[in-house]
Amino acid sequence: MAKLYFYYASMNAGKSTNLLQADFNYRERGMRTMLFTAAIDDRFAAGTIASRIGLTAPATMFTPATDLLACVADRHAGGALACVLVDEAQFLTSPQVDGLAAICDTLGIPVLAYGLRTDFRGALFAGSARLLALADALVEVKSVCVCGRKATMNLRVDAGGAPTGQGRQTEIGGNDRYVALCRRHHAGALAGTWTLSAG
């Protein structure tokens, strides 16, 4: 039976790298895959999944209006798909995650979704919340805080590098806007009792 997997982590944990490696493994064995990425993520070329270590692959962009089940069913009808891989899965809507589950349950195609679990305030994204509820397997991709502990939180910093707990939930950025930290240092940075330069 095909399964829905949710690979989650903080920023800079290598989620996109893992996705691209999994895609390569399928394709190396002559199997067809379908990749999705969020249209809102404009850090790289449109319709591209890119990792910090330089790996890239073209992907179908999704918006909140995209019917993922219909897209996959259409592609699958033109030649069997072995796997569907979704980057930036935190930006999925709850109905889209339901669609991913349906891809597994009705089309028999495994789905590997990669994304953040929480935002910069420590709140769940809608897509992540639904994936945590529906996924057959939850896999944490590890990242490291400056103190050496496991990083589970994403600290947003302003243009000057100062921590901020204000703003919209979705604000695209990389190392210039976010720092992966353990829960203790994330809370300390937001409270002003610990600074990034303290290490």
Catalytic residues: 88
The encoded tokens of residue 198 equal 């303290």
Q: Is 132:96 a contact under the CB 8 Å cutoff?
A: no
